[in-house]
Chain A
Amino acid sequence: MAMAQEEISAHISPARTILLRISRYNPEHDGASTFAEFTVPYEKWTTVLDAILEVKKHLDHSVAVRYSCRQATCGSCGMMINGRPRLACFTKISELDSETITVEPMNNFPVIRDLAVKFDRLFDAHRSIKPYLVREDSETDTGKEFLQSPGEVEQYIQFANCIKCGLCNAACPTMATDSTFVGPQALAQAYRYVADSRDKGKDSRLRVIDDSHGIWRCHFAGSCSQVCPKGVDPAMGIQLLRGYMLGFR
């Protein structure tokens, strides 16, 4: 019954259509990417991910796209939408104000196929900054919770919102040219743990990012913060962390 309702709702003739251009590329046998064009119906609530899934369902099931939660929580569906990194599930077609929507894989990520990219570099960089509390004791050992004041929580909670979608890395101009740059995602997470009053691992964490391809390679273009779908503001975290390392804070 649910299936039948879904099919009916997909075929109600809507008032408007858009031209959806999807980048097609398989590194195993394609020399360069091409665009496949589809005319897709949409309503004012239709997201770009809905439109891509409409294509997969009715027009071309071979389009490769990664997605999961459809509510900007899992960070899977990041892609370039009309030239800017966005979450496809968090971007309504109506807000783009364009008759044509072009979707491409995220910049600065290797393409697996079509819109799906490899996250290895992002996750490796994230792991390298030790994204956990570093201290010798633990709450379970001591039997006591590590208490924090609301003010101490405010220092880092914004940066704990990161969903590792990679949009910041896709927007970063340094990531476009530097293959070993740590990237705004990992640097913002380094600040998140350095700013956490429970953490005792500042020195070991800062050693990782105190490198010519680490925090000093950020030039404060701020694009990472403009595309973050969770309000993390990586540029702020990076500058605060650099200010701390320079002794200004």
Chain B
Amino acid sequence: MGRDGKKGIGGMADPRRYGIERVAYWLMRLSGLGLLAYFVAHIYETSNILRGRVGWDEILQMTQTIEGHIILALVIGMCVFHTVNGIRVMLGHGGVWVGRPARPDYPYNPASQNYRHKIGIYSAIILAAVAMMYGLAVLFGE
């Protein structure tokens, strides 16, 4: 923590203490960075087609390992979570499903953290897990 009191990346990335919404925020960043890394690696991988069939087959062999399959399954999970949660967040940014202003009553449960958004988050997590399991079944079932 600096003299200005900012908690920095550690404070931003800490998913604890603020409920599932903060976990979703953390997973969104993590999956976004993961997909960015995959995007760069994917461009590198596909650019090997310029080396001809032999070069292409060589680089493709890298994904035909246990580690390669696990990474691809993680990419599938990150992609599904980022997409589904991204739609939820975009709807929220447009003011959709964030509740309506009203006089607050104790214990002040925030209307913006309502069940629709919670269902959206859990759906994103469950769909990502199912897609990963399907991906693993396909990859290891070859």
Contact = CB atoms under 8 A, between A and B. Distances in A.
A221 B11 contact: no
A197 interface: no
A174 interface: yes
A159 interface: yes
Interface in A105-139: 105-111, 117
Contact of B8 (A156, A171, A176, A249): A176
A235 B110 CA distance: 9
B11 A108 contact: yes
Interface in A221-249: 221-223, 225-233, 235-237, 239-244, 246, 248-249
What DSSP secondary structure best describes chain B's contact surface? loop
Interface string B61-79: 0000000000000000000
B108 to A, nearest CB: 3
B92 interface: yes
A177 B6 contact: yes
Contact of B99 (A105, A221, A236): A236
A210 interface: no
A27 interface: yes
Contacts of B51: none
B21 A223 contact: yes
B49 interface: no
A165 interface: no
Interface residues of A, number: 52
B8 A223 contact: no
B99 to A, nearest CB: 5
A239 B16 CA distance: 23
B52 interface: no
A173 interface: yes
B119 interface: no
A14 interface: no
Nearest to A33: B1
A242 B95 contact: yes
Interface in A146-187: 154-159, 161, 171, 173-177, 179
Contact of A236 (B1, B22, B111): B111
B104 interface: yes
A194 B16 CA distance: 33
Given A231-B110, A236-B112, A242-B94, 18 more contacts: A108-B5, A154-B102, A155-B101, A158-B103, A173-B22, A175-B6, A176-B10, A176-B11, A176-B12, A219-B28, A220-B92, A222-B22, A222-B25, A231-B105, A233-B108, A233-B111, A233-B112, A246-B93
20 contacts: A107-B11, A108-B11, A109-B5, A157-B103, A158-B104, A176-B7, A176-B10, A179-B4, A219-B25, A219-B89, A222-B21, A222-B117, A226-B18, A229-B108, A231-B105, A231-B110, A233-B99, A233-B112, A235-B112, A239-B95
Nearest 3 pairs between A and B by C-beta?
Answer: A243-B95, A231-B104, A231-B108
Interface of B: 1, 3-13, 16-19, 21-22, 25, 28, 89, 92-96, 98-99, 101-106, 108, 110-113, 117
